[in-house]
Structure 1
């Protein structure tokens, strides 16, 4: 027997030695890249990094996973690092992580048993913002350390933690590193003046895409975060920290979003303490937190912040440093230790290696915390999920500023009544709000009156009817939820809730689920507090948007249901995307109608025209057909049209109705030669519109300032689109070229000789002396110009009879913009009234939600409107148009025009003040652009 076993033992020994040799022979970064990670003036590109990931995958501590392709066609990788023993049970640990995060049908005892069995899952990413080069390089160094080190801390981490190392932007690293390293002289290397966006469409806005997930990279990462692994901690590396500090990190400043479970917030506090304590112990000063920086946890949509709405401890650090040495500046007020910055840094020369070392310490602090508290982290995410399920299963009222203010108002109203009854004497408490600390406060009955009012409780669920006009867009909304791990149900048959019938195929989203915070956030309005530096002082700007409710942005018809309900519902598998099912009326003898209310109709129309099928619009609808709205599309009957429409119904979900005869008053649709403005460095708003035009099949050409200035525009184009920040203000000069990455301080305006010849045609800016005359001539000759956001400044350059509606008169009789103390609206959703009979607004509801970000508002000259030279398209009909977010002084908006059309010679200017294409999220207002991109002739 012993003799028979010898060959087997010899083989096992040889295999063991081979595996040991394999692990020991992994190349260090220096051996692979030719330099140490953190060496000054050295960056690795993605081609080199990808090759290194594949070498590290040879370790028995690692597994390389291809999570998908990028927008530019590169592979995006995730390296899973843990102990060899854990790798053998990786699927089981993933299953445990999913079960505890979703908290479905699991008792507390079962959850504790799973938490004891499982391993903490920690996500660490890098490189999302590619010019923040510390992110990708700390990722490389941390991977190497964890697959090669054998110290007790590393081994404890590997035994108890599964680390997901994720490269967040391969395309960006390739662009940025190659740009920096193009100079042979290290002292000439610079990250400044990149020629284009470092994410193909979104640039810096790639970190604003994680509740929408338009981009391939977002989709790849979102699936791992919200469907596959659902980590308990995710760590998102960024740059740069506030001047005078080294880095900003957790915990973060108020306000945090009111839908969060408090354990998520205190979980951030706990991990944050481990992070800055470790830095302090290692004599690494300069960590600032809380009000020491601008970062908060209010906003959804960021790679880190969307995880907060999924009960994950989402971490962000913003660190200084880069391959070119720099100085830590002297900021005297940051030198005094305080609660924000307990250990200040002093001015000094800062090298890249210091940033890498700090990042490595931060990563190890997070991983060490996770190793020591792995069972607690697993149980806590279950506990938060269970809390969410319980809240969605019972009557619950989310606390918010509006509800607290309602308590105050109810109390004060009663106090005034009591005072009146007593002849003016106030019988109430002298300190009703407890400012002195001595008051007994407001009587509890006011809490009960407001926060136990059945009519104001949170909904138990939402129904998205399948018979709404733009159901394909509603399905896109559902898919956005599915991509973020939300449980969706679909009706298998007709059902009734609260007396209303809903067709089969309708979707149901119940709030009794673990990720309830995200569900509430996507359907319900955000109630941002009035946040000022001091009473009567200027507002504190939110880190990003104040309101973004996705159902509002997308114009989805939703019914809120306050009571528990059920029906013939099937639960959809997590992560399984939906496709709308369209129909074509086969009995149509005269022709086919596509509603202009559906965005996907524009894809179908563009495809029909491209295939040679005639398409018309119905400016006044169809006589005797109430369901056919003004602006609907008509396609004459024919076999080619039928085949194309069958394909559109199947692939796009469009519902094609039929007419027995060809209607009167048709106008033929023809494609337009579309130009879309962009600039050197890349404009993010322009990139998003480019993405939209590709999705909706509008052919277009990107143009730059030099193309505009060259003239002869009418010979080349029919319509030119200028996104926000393209057209300068009349009095303040032009903005930085790009208006995208440049706004984040990534470089000065370059000199021509500094830029490679291939990119020089992109340089320049829109100017009053060269560009505006050419645009005016273009319109006079019959061209159309579409302006969005601040680019509506073009109206002032042209001298049109419009004025800024948001101004006041000073004591000296001078007009000035309203000060922020009186009027302030950061990114929020407001409701406008539209004239939907106009060509520009066809397909829009007369009351619609728009994304508004300090957007322009106008007063139009009455005589110009009377003559038809100006047409108001959208305006604020009330003094309270706020739907979601924060609007201080919103009463100033009443009667202000927010979109108009103006005649300019034989052409026209379309001015849309709101951000109608905002981050490719605001589907509700896409039609305001799309209508301008299809030409229509005279009525037939």
Structure 2
């Protein structure tokens, strides 16, 4: 546990930090480069209020909110409509649709603004990022800029009360005649995501309708709900971000324990994050409830690794990389469970709503009390980025409790190049990565001419990422490999302990430590994969290195073209009359690159492959991204779902043969007897392969929290030929004692972990040393003719490792027709 020698109040800590402890930031070193204007021009900006009549949803008596005593989803739109009708301070809109089809509501609360005033606010907001030195010395901006606060409520559907606290604050500020509220709204914009997960709110589930925990998706952005959260944070540039949750008793609120994300300007966060947390704790105590007399602040109260802010997958950790002061607020009292009376549920949800209301109001007060400093420090994050300054070495004691265990820093390269042309592993992957960087608030340029950098040649059109940019921490967090933190921390709140879309999304990304390419650059606002098709007729080859390539293969098969799998896992398409236009359409739709097929090629004809999957939504949606028709399979439904049209069984969760009913066992045996293929993930796949006598391996799993980016050696073959030398792991698995006929396609390198966390547990036989040089992907044709592939890596984890999806797709093609 952390210990501090002095019990500090928020006021004492703030005074200390604004006095001798804080250093003076160096002046802006150089003029800013010209930056193209943002997409929304001044003529598109209107004043406030911006009111809309929200569609009203039908009454739903089964809404899980009702027994908790909070606002049912169908009552949210009518309430917001009434508030808009009653007050010019409230602007509400439908900002998107959830996975399950519900409206997502974004609400802004502020004093009315003319169009000219709103345009001025937008110019100031942009100026903070574009020219931070000028912005923070502009007397008009400092006096009149409306500092933003962002509240994200109910991201976990069965943690309801954040929505009700938001509605309560909106109603109070909409209708109050208190002059203090009038002044408050004249100097601030409050932006609310009223219910970030209406699917879960109605159903009483943590996840959305698609089955995803949205608070693990912020740098993957696979769900419509997280796309909106990202848009609101990037657009709002909030000084403080609040993500309202439940239930941890006593109330838990950030700042967090180490490890900290190595790309953050953590000194500029913790100097505000800790005193505001202490102020929230004081105000919670003032509520008078026995349950709110103390908060749990992990930075102060917990050991390293208990509740960290390391991966940028959470709303707060993503917001910090956007130069916001973020908080997870976990209200204390769980109103769920069958042993509670209706009165107790309502009592608990009422206290939780009060807790979240305090967090909102205290944070807003902190912004007002420290307005000049928080504006200066938000701009300082951007200034350091533009100037390319190294991260600060934060001295021990910078705030009470800060020590060597907190000091996580990276070294920024000067730039990155994402090549185009032959130097690029996958053009669709590169375009996808560029879209992620830009959508997350980063900046990307393209070279107008060929150039050389760091001894390599690059063609015109290659992307250049200049890290002298305001949100360099966010960009670098996505592109850098990461670090092995195994020896620094004995625990993690959750994985992944490394992510690196620069290594795991399938694109080639080159790091230039000292150089910015000397070539004319044009800023771009989306990624483009043009693809190509040889000009002359003839047989064509498509190397399957991205999900887009698999989508094309499955599309061509469905359209009746003959497609053949070659020995290296690529495919050949014979030239036939009428095929060229179909291929052009696929190039245009997916940006894939065809090349001439090798002379005298021979391959295995491919039919449409139907995949039965035994797993989670992650397997379901990865298969969708690859274009395979699917059937959901469970141990109890094999007889109904493992029908004659299923060609391959994807085993990602346990299938215990000894517990199957006679009919389900018969269906499985019939599938295997007709030569059905099997692709297995992790120990579940290996256990099934052994039990069904398809192959013999011993599978060993690392600790459950071991995760990150692994170094791998690809041996070639239909699954891994041409694959990148890195893979994503989440509880890595390796295969030893390989039986007859088992071929190793990929193995862990001698140093298996490039970045992440992977300690040994138990007897110490499942650490990195035990996995070194051992097989990570194997295949075999069983004695009965079944194609079998096992993965010890994780190609489906939360839809994150895009670069591994093609390996899974190639495995399915081979297993179906080995």
Query: What TM-score results when the alignment is normalised by the length of structure 1?
Result: 0.71
Describe the shift of the 1:875–1:198 C-alpha distance in structure 2 as closer, same or farther (beyond 3 A): same
Deviations 1:476-519 (A, max 9, x none): 01111111010111112212223322111110111111111112
**Deviation of the 1:290 alpha carbon:** 1.8
**Separation of aligned partners in 2, 1:348 and 1:60:** 35
Q: State whether residues 734 and 771 of structure 2, in contact with CA within 8 Å, keep that contact through their aligned partners in structure 1.
A: yes
Query: Secondary structure at the residue paired with 1:604?
Result: helix
Report the counterpart of residue 600 of structure 2 in structure 1.
Answer: 663
Distance 2:345 2:632 in 1: 44
- Structure 1 Cα separation of the partners of residues 216 and 151 of structure 2: 18
SS at match of 1:584: coil
Counterpart position of 2:97: 69
Contact 1:721–1:787 at 8 Å: present in 2 too? yes
- Distance, in Å, in 1 between the alignment partners of 2:650 and 2:138 is 55
CA apart distance, 1:565: 2.2
1:536 match: none
- The SS at the match of 2:495 is coil
- State the Cα distance separating 1:923 from its structure 2 match: 1.6
- Deviates further, 893-902 or 664-673: 893-902
8 Å contact 1:125–1:237 — kept in the other structure? yes
Instruction: Name which of 841, 852, 858 aligns with 2:729.
Output: 852
Cα displacement (A) at 1:658: 3.1
Is the contact between residue 325 and residue 352 of structure 1 (CA under 8 Å) also seen in structure 2? no
1:781 is displaced (CA, Å) by 3.1
d(CA) in 2 for partners of 1:109, 1:131: 41
Distance in 1 (alpha carbons) for counterparts of 2:527 and 2:91: 31
* Native 8 Å contact 1:325 1:350 kept in 2: no
Deviations 1:791-837 (A, max 9, x none): 2232343465322446xxxxxxxxxxx8x7xxx86221111122222
1:383, CA displacement in angstroms? 0.9
**Partner of 1:465 in structure 2?**
419
Trace 1:393-432 onto structure 2 (pairs within 5 A): 396=390
Post-superposition offset of 1:632: 2.2
In the alignment, is the contact (CA less than 8 A) between 1:211 and 1:306 conserved in 2? yes
* Residues 1:803 and 2:698 are matched in the alignment: yes
SS in structure 1 of the partner of residue 279 of structure 2: helix
Do residues 646 (structure 1) and 584 (structure 2) align? yes
The match for 1:601 among 549, 573, 585 is: 549
Q: 1:613 aligns with which of 530, 552, 561?
A: 561
Q: Which stretch shifts more, 156-165 or 51-60? A: 51-60
CA distance in structure 1 between the partners assigned to 2:215 and 2:67 by the alignment: 27
Is the contact between residue 213 and residue 219 of structure 1 (CA under 8 Å) also seen in structure 2?
yes
Q: How does 1:318-357 map to 2 (within 5 A)?
A: 318-321=330-333, 323=335, 351-357=348-354
Q: 1:917 aligns with which of 789, 796, 800?
A: 796
Post-superposition offset of 1:633: 1.9
Aligned to 2:764: none
Q: Who is 2:508 aligned against?
A: 557
Q: CA offsets, 1:693-751, max 9 Å, x none?
A: 3333222122333222x36835241112233xx20689xx9xxxxxxxxxxxxxxxxxx
Find the aligned partners of 2:737 and 2:145 in 1 and give their Cα distance. 65
SS in 2 for 1:480: helix
CA distance in structure 2 between the aligned counterparts of 1:891 and 1:662, rounded to whole angstroms: 44
CA contact (8 A) 2:787 2:815 kept: no
Q: 1:70 to 1:805 in 2, by over 3 A?
A: closer
Q: Distance in 2 between matches of 1:825 and 1:203?
A: 19
Is 1:582 the counterpart of 2:531? The answer is yes
Report the more deviating stretch, 286-295 or 499-508.
Answer: 286-295
Partners of 1:239 and 1:558 in 2: how far apart?
A: 39
Distance 1:853 1:80, change over 3 A: same
1:166-190 deviation per Cα after TM superposition (whole angstroms, max 9, x unaligned)? 13535414xx43x4xxxxxxxxxxx
Contact 1:258 1:399 in 2 (8 A): no
Corresponding position of 1:386 = 383
Match of 2:460 in 1: 504
Offset, 1:80: 0.4
1:168–1:687 distance in 2 versus 1, CA, 3 Å:
farther
The answer as to whether partners of 1:874 and 1:900 remain within 8 angstroms in 2 is yes
Query: What residue number does 2:758 align with?
Result: 887
Hey, what does 2:208 align to over in structure 1?
199
Q: CA 1:238 to 1:772, structure 2 compared with 1: closer, same or farther past 3 Å?
A: farther
2:282 is the alignment partner of 1:277: yes
Shift of 1:381: 0.6
What is the total number of aligned residue pairs between the two structures?
A: 728
Q: Distance in 1 between matches of 2:162 and 2:677?
A: 44
Which residue of 2 is the match for residue 369 of structure 1?
Answer: 366
Measure the CA separation in 2 of the matches of 1:398 and 1:84.
40
**Equivalence map 1:890-901=2 (5 Å):** 890-901=768-779
Structure whose CA Rg is larger: 1
**Is 1:255 paired with 2:259?**
yes
In the TM superposition, 1:115-264 aligns within 5 A as 115-173=142-200, 176-177=201-202, 179=203, 191=204, 198-204=207-213, 206-226=214-234, 228-241=235-248, 245-261=249-265, 262-264=267-269
For the 8 Å contact 1:40–1:352, the answer to whether it is kept is: no
CA distance in 2, matches of 1:844, 1:566: 27
**Mapped contact 2:497–2:756 kept (Cα < 8 A):** yes
- Aligned equivalents of 2:454, 2:673: Cα separation in 1: 56
Q: 1:775 to 1:97 in 2, by over 3 A?
A: farther
Could you state the TM-score of these two structures normalised by the residue count of structure 2? 0.81
Kept in 2, the 8 Å contact 1:786–1:932? The answer is yes
CA, structure 1 residues 938+773, in 2 after alignment: closer, same or farther (shift >3 Å)? closer
User: Separation in 1 of the partners of 2:815 and 2:577?
Assistant: 24
Say yes or no: does 1:932 pair with 2:790. no
Structure 2 gaps, min length 5: 1-50, 397-403, 760-766
Secondary structure, counterpart of 1:366 in structure 2: helix
Aligned-pair CA distance for 1:300 = 0.9
Residue 49 of structure 1 and its aligned partner are, at CA, apart by 1.7
Quick check: 1:857–1:893 contact (8 Å CA) kept in 2? Answer: yes
User: Structure 1 residues 613, 398: CA separation in 2 closer, same or farther (over 3 Å shift)?
Assistant: farther
**Deviation at 1:530?**
4.2
Deviation of the 1:316 alpha carbon: 0.6
CA offset digits 1:439-493 (Å, max 9, x no partner): xx9xxxxxxxxx9xxxx96310000100213111011011111110101111122
Distance 2:115 2:722 in 1: 54
Let me know the Cα RMSD of the aligned residues: 3.6
Contact 1:169 1:199 in 2 (8 A): no
- 2:470 equivalent in structure 1: 514
Aligned to 1:544, which of 472, 478, 495? 495
* Deviation, structure 1 residue 152: 4.8
Q: Is the 8 A contact 2:565 2:606 kept in 1?
A: yes
